[in-house]
Amino acid sequence: MKHIDKIYRLDSLLRERRTPISGKAIEEKLECSRATRDRIIQYMREMLSAPIDYDRERKGYYYDHAQAIRPYELPGLWFNAQELQALLACRHILSNISPGILQDAIAQLQQRLEKLLAHNPGITKPDLNKIKILNQANRSSNDAVFLQIATALFNGKRLTISYHARSDNQRSRRDISPQTLVRYRDNWYLDAWCHWRRQLRSFAVDRIDKVVLLAENADTLAPEQLQQHFAHSYGIFSGSPQHQAILNFSAERARWVADEHWHSQQQSQWLADGRYQLTIPFNDHRELLMDILKHGAEVEVIAPGFLVQAVREQIAAMQTIYAGR
């Protein structure tokens, strides 16, 4: 906002004085016109909730602390018009990434930001329809469950969850210590210490049916331990990588893949015939197999042997499905 320095100076004047200060004196102290003075006072009242009142008998402005629990202080966070526009864009992106989550709170934030932006002359509200987020294969999560998880995470508390695993279609009840919320491939996952399994686990948030916030403090693991467990293997599957996948992409497909980041420790090289070779560490091959198959005949698995065999089996299964059609 313009005149931030003048707002601070007026705030200082009103806090330091024991008697009202005239409008003329404010103009002199702030080195501004009467119109600017009035705009600043209006802005502070409406946008910063400043308790500025006017004493008609003594013809001056003052801070009315009569109804306040403590003396008024200016907010500590300030944005200029461009920053407000950027925040509105971020809010729009967030609401599209996770529709429904924190919807009411985000809507209130948007109203507040738009109100602040309206007080910046010459700056218009950005057309947020020019930003489009296309989610793919995202799964719906329970907003109440998500908020309970976030509350436990930020306050360092344990949770009891009811979890319906996709891997074996079994339901279980577990006490967990939340560590990290992860947005991965358009879906939310919770990395947590499972007190039942006594291991670090990743839980799909959309498969958590019920959650109870406990009074007990969560066990907090060191960032290095989390990094070692979750970040070194491929995809959402955790654990130390035990294998290296070597993939050769066709020269045509390489125009895309060469610019993609598959893993933090990936290695790559261009082959003499124009193909692109990508080497990726992994532990569990299931997610990697899906990513390989989506490239079809444009990629060849060189190693390890069991991954080559897994691709062969998938191709054979597909041939069986489509045979005779």
- pLDDT per residue as tens digits for the range 151-205: 999 999 999 999 999 989 999 999 999 999 998 888 899 999 999 999 999 999 9
SS3 annotation, the chain: CCCHHHHHHHHHHHHHCCCCECHHHHHHHHCCCHHHHHHHHHHHHHHCCCCEEEECCCCEEEECCCCCCCCCCCCCCCCCHHHHHHHHHHHHHHHHHCCCCCHHHHHHHHHHHHHHHHCCCCCCCCCHHHCCCCCCCCCCCCHHHHHHHHHHHHHCEEEEEEEECCCCCCEEEEEEEEEEEEEECCEEEEEEEECCCCEEEEEEHHHEEEEEEEEEECCCCCHHHHHHHHHCCCCCCCCCCCEEEEEEECHHHHHHHCCCCCCCCCEEEECCCCCEEEEEEECCCHHHHHHHHCCHHHEEEEECHHHHHHHHHHHHHHHHHHCCC
Does residue 190 contact residue 147 with C-beta atoms inside 8 Å?
no
Q: Is the dihedral of CA 289, 291, 297, 299 positive or negative?
A: negative
* Mean pLDDT for the stretch of residues 84-107: 68
For residues 3 and 11, give the distance between their C-alpha atoms in angstroms, rounded to a whole number: 12
Q: Please determine, for residue 109, whether its predicted confidence score (pLDDT) is greater than 60.
A: yes
- pLDDT per residue as tens digits for the range 277-323: 999 999 999 999 999 999 999 999 999 999 999 999 999 999 999 98
Q: Please determine, for residue 121, whether its predicted confidence score (pLDDT) is greater than 60.
A: no
What are the structure tokens assigned to 243, written together? 């294998």
What pLDDT, on the 0 to 100 scale, is given for residue 144? Answer: 86
CATH number for the domain formed by residue range(s) 243-322: 3.30.70
What pLDDT, on the 0 to 100 scale, is given for residue 324? Answer: 75
Fold match, 4-63 / 243-322 = no
Percent residues over pLDDT 70 in the chain: 85
Q: Provide the residue count of the chain.
A: 325
What pLDDT, on the 0 to 100 scale, is given for residue 267? Answer: 97
Check residues 75 and 59 and name the one with the higher pLDDT. Answer: 59
Q: Please determine, for residue 120, whether its predicted confidence score (pLDDT) is greater than 60.
A: no
b/e burial code for range 124-160 (CB count within 10 A of at least 16 → b)? eebebeeeeeeeeeeeebbeebbebbeebbeeebbbe
Domain spans of the chain?
Answer: 4-63, 81-130, 143-231, 243-322
Q: Is the peptide bond before 304 cis (omega within 30 degrees of 0)?
A: yes
Check residues 143 and 127 and name the one with the higher pLDDT. Answer: 143
A 10 A CB-CB count for 217 gives 11
pLDDT tier for residue 107 given thresholds of 50, 70 and 90: confident
Residue whose C-alpha is closest to residue 303's, from 253, 248, 258: 248
Token pair 């080559």: residue:
308
State the helix-helix crossing angle for 286-293 and 305-322, rounded to 10 degrees. Answer: 60
Q: Please determine, for residue 251, whether its predicted confidence score (pLDDT) is greater than 70.
A: yes
Top CATH class of 143-231 equals mainly beta
User: What is the architecture, at CATH level 2, of domain 4-63?
Assistant: Orthogonal Bundle (1.10)
What pLDDT, on the 0 to 100 scale, is given for residue 123? Answer: 56
Check residues 325 and 123 and name the one with the higher pLDDT. Answer: 325
For residues 69 and 73, give the distance between their C-alpha atoms in angstroms, rounded to a whole number: 12
What pLDDT, on the 0 to 100 scale, is given for residue 74? Answer: 79
What pLDDT, on the 0 to 100 scale, is given for residue 58? Answer: 93
Does residue 138 contact residue 205 with C-beta atoms inside 8 Å?
no
Check residues 308 and 132 and name the one with the higher pLDDT. Answer: 308
The mean pLDDT of the chain is 87
Q: Please determine, for residue 34, whether its predicted confidence score (pLDDT) is greater than 80.
A: yes
pLDDT tier for residue 27 given thresholds of 50, 70 and 90: very high
Q: Please determine, for residue 122, whether its predicted confidence score (pLDDT) is greater than 60.
A: no
What type of residue is 5? D
> Rounded to two decimals, what is the model's pTM?
0.67
Longest Cα–Cα distance of the chain, Å, equals: 97
